[in-house]
């Protein structure tokens, strides 16, 4: 795809021509959409590419102003994109366009949101594409790890938590010692996801009784010795560091 026509504003930020030509208010509102409204860096990058692609497409269609963008333009872009990209990608592009114009509407840059009434492709997932280890495979993987050192115990505990709770890597590596706790004779792991804190029973999924606890306890017992000596408060150090 050709490079998006951009204009450099006084702050040094490169903006799409349609945004820059709409004035300083529109330029700042556009920048704030990515820096203030979106916190996840991966989402910010993906939406940045989606917004740039749509604005460049508008330029190629001869649209010279943000106010000239109409629902039929958005619908035509989505229709064209469906022949080139997968349904999840198309839905992501449409979500970005909707959110961007909502942000511009609330900032009084444009009067209406042209993407509000545009429908995206249908897409439903009944089964994920990520392969899942069988119980025997998980046992072989964890049983074959070298646990003669603290690092080995840590790595085995890390992989065990991800295997038996299906947690994200970012959620597992941010665990603290106090996030693994006993309640009503069961062990629980407190995972911090994008939507907040989620408590996950350590015995769930394909693991039989307390398999996660079996891999976690040796790690925490070894680390407890270090914490007694080094820790000055309850929040020193994460579980897997």
Model confidence over 39-58: pLDDT tens digits?
Answer: 888 999 999 999 999 999 99
Q: Are residues 166 and 89 in the same domain?
A: no
Last residue of a domain, one of 106, 126, 155: 106
Q: Are residues 142 and 77 in the same domain?
A: no
Residue 230 has pLDDT above 70, yes or no: no
Asked if residue 124 is part of any domain, the answer here is no
Alpha-carbon distance of 153 to 150, in angstroms, equals: 5
Residue 237: per-residue pLDDT:
46
Asked if residue 117 is part of any domain, the answer here is no
DSSP 178: G
Q: What's the whole-number mean pLDDT along residues 117-124?
A: 83
Residue 76: per-residue pLDDT:
95
pTM over the 0.75 mark: no
Q: What's the whole-number mean pLDDT along residues 106-125?
A: 88
Q: Are residues 92 and 166 in the same domain?
A: no
* Residue 214's CATH number: 1.10.443.10
- Residue 106 Cα distances to 16, 28, 33, 38, 119, angstroms: 20, 13, 11, 16, 22
Residue 17 has pLDDT above 80, yes or no: yes
Which residue range(s) make up the domain with 43? Answer: 6-106
Asked if residue 123 is part of any domain, the answer here is no
Residue 177 has pLDDT above 50, yes or no: yes
Half-sphere exposure of 69 (CA within 13 A, CB side): 31
Taking residue 224's Cβ as centre, other Cβ atoms within 10 Å add up to 12
Asked if residue 115 is part of any domain, the answer here is no
Mean pLDDT for all residues in the chain: 77
Percent of the chain at pLDDT > 90 equals: 35
Handedness of CA 220, 226, 229, 233 (dihedral sign): negative
| pLDDT classification of 129: cutoffs 50, 70, 90 | low
Asked if residue 151 is part of any domain, the answer here is yes
Residue 184 has pLDDT above 60, yes or no: yes
Max intra-chain CA distance, the chain: 69
Tally the domains of the chain: 2
Asked if residue 14 is part of any domain, the answer here is yes
Residue 146: per-residue pLDDT:
86
Residue 172: per-residue pLDDT:
79
Residue 212 has pLDDT above 80, yes or no: no
Residue 115 has pLDDT above 50, yes or no: yes
Alpha-carbon distance of 30 to 85, in angstroms, equals: 25
């Amino acid at each position: 795809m050709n490079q998006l026509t951009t204009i450099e504003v006084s702050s040094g930020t490169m903006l799409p021509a349609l945004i820059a030509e709409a004035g300083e208010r529109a330029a700042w509102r556009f920048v704030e959409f990515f820096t203030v409204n979106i916190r996840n860096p991966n989402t910010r990058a993906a939406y940045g590419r989606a917004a740039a692609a749509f604005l460049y497409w508008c330029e190629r269609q001869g649209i010279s102003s943000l106010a000239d963008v109409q629902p039929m333009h958005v619908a035509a872009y989505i229709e064209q994109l469906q022949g080139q990209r997968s349904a999840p990608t198309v839905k992501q592009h449409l979500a970005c366009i909707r959110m961007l114009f909502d942000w511009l509407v609330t900032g009084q840059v444009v009067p209406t949101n042209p993407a509000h009434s545009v429908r995206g492709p249908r897409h439903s997932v009944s089964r994920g594409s990520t392969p899942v280890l069988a119980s025997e495979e998980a046992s072989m993987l964890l049983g074959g790890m070298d646990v003669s050192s603290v690092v080995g115990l840590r790595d085995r505990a890390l992989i065990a938590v991800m295997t038996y709770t299906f947690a994200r890597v970012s959620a597992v590596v941010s665990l603290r010692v106090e996030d693994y706790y006993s309640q009503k004779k069961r062990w629980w792991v407190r995972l911090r996801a994008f939507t907040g804190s989620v408590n996950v029973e350590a015995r769930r999924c394909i693991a039989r009784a307390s398999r996660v606890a079996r891999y976690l306890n040796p790690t925490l017992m070894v680390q407890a010795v270090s914490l007694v000596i080094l820790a000055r408060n309850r929040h020193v150090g994460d579980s897997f560091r």
